[in-house]
Structure 1
């Protein structure tokens, strides 16, 4: 049982059924690239999002997202493992929607819902723009990111208005959005996505577990 799921069991919540795998290690089935989707190198067009050696890799040119389009989630734990190259800037979107470049401000996760920032900033003080932040809204309790080149494990649990984030076995966010004016009206359901914002990043073990309340004890 993962750290976050153990914590959930201790506060009266449980995962519903087995994990839902979002990545088969071979294809981008279920995902859609939005925003900048191609990069031209040496006169040849290459996709920004690719599968390489069983990993989902973003080569970080331009600005856009890879959104899991096949399903929306309300209350869930999203598990992701990621490895950044030096200088990387990326993120995870939760409870988000399709990205429209014509309405970038209104449809990107960091405005519409939440972006969990991922960037090459290990060892730097936590801010509202550092790894693990609810970008521009809430700084993490600490910067628990590992240096570029090392694998990180992140789990974000969305349970009604409560957002909990664990990075490398450290609880870095435990927020009730209903108590914070700037985020109290954020949606409670939507897609998950990955961000392209510059620099190479690899992902693996992408999965979601939906939550359900435990029956009340007599």
Structure 2
């Protein structure tokens, strides 16, 4: 009888543990698959990705992570465009880092002025150019970085005019684009950088569908577990 009880307990533990165990890197969990998450990076090569200038990605996959550094373009972008979604990924930065995750990019020839950017950067600041900011528009409320050399979890949500960013599970910036309906207007004093044909843009006028990409800004940065959930 004792052996039967022990066997039952071991079997139950195995089933329980397997039901909650996380997926390996660059794989979807069973729960994510059922919820409709898409795996955008396979951990091996750049299938489904290209440079924003249409060149093939020249940088290597390093330790099963994307590394946009020396990719051959300003951005590594996914071949599909996305509108409303939740994007999550893990990012690791070197001691000095200034990079970004671009999303809803309208024009691949001009991503700097036609898309949003979630700032990826080292440091302890809480401005519009610090880790987790909606670059040059909304500052972070908190610097939630684990620091250089550590994996940080980033989550970006876009739903209509609403944009938000979480770092390591903490909400650090959010935006209602419809509220910024004047050219140059942003959440803090001063004008933002975004211009089109030499004239400042209103954030409200940004495209609600566009390309998703990772910036090569002169520093090696590592990305893995790049997953996206379309919001229909």
Band the TM-score falls in, shorter-chain normalisation: 0.7 to 0.9
Q: How far apart in 2 are the matches of 1:21 and 1:185?
A: 30
Gaps of 5+ in 2: 1-19, 21-32, 186-202
SS at 1:173's partner residue? strand
- 2:222 corresponds to which of 180, 202, 218: 202
Select the residue among 14, 18, 21 that pairs with 2:36: 18
SS at match of 1:148: coil
Partner of 2:134: 134
1:83 is aligned to 92
Deviation per residue, 1:63-86 (Å, 9 max, x gap) = 7100001x1111100111100111
Give the aligned CA root-mean-square deviation in angstroms.
2.5
Alignment partners' CA distance in 2, 1:152 and 1:98: 29
Unmatched segments (≥5 aa) in structure 1: 2-14, 39-45, 101-106, 213-218
Identify the residue that residue 174 of structure 2 maps to in structure 1.
Answer: 174
Counterpart contact for 2:83–2:104, Cα < 8 Å: yes
Q: Tell me the SS of whatever aligns to 1:111.
A: helix
Q: Deviations over 1:158-189 (max 9, x none)?
A: 00000011111110122111012331111111
Q: Secondary structure at the match of 2:205?
A: coil
Change (3 A) 1:67 1:98: farther
Change (3 A) 1:16 1:92: farther
What does residue range 146-165 of structure 1 map to in structure 2 within 5 Å?
A: 146-165=146-165
Separation in 1 of the partners of 2:95 and 2:70?
A: 12
What count of residue pairs does the alignment treat as equivalent? 181
Q: Give SS of 2:60's match.
A: strand
Contact 1:95 1:190 in 2 (8 A): yes
Q: TM-score by structure 1 length?
A: 0.75
Q: Quote the residue 1:66 is aligned against.
A: 76
Structure with the higher strand share, 1 or 2: 1
* Structure 1 position 95 matched with structure 2 position 97: no
Partner of 2:196: none
Measured after TM superposition, the shift of residue 61 of structure 1 is 8.0
Does the 8 Å contact 2:117/2:134 carry over to 1? yes
Higher relative contact order (CA 8 A, sep 6+): 1
Partner in structure 1 of residue 209 of structure 2 = 189
Retained in 2: the 8 A contact 1:57–1:201?
A: yes
SS of residue paired to 1:171: strand
Structure 2 partner of 1:117: 119
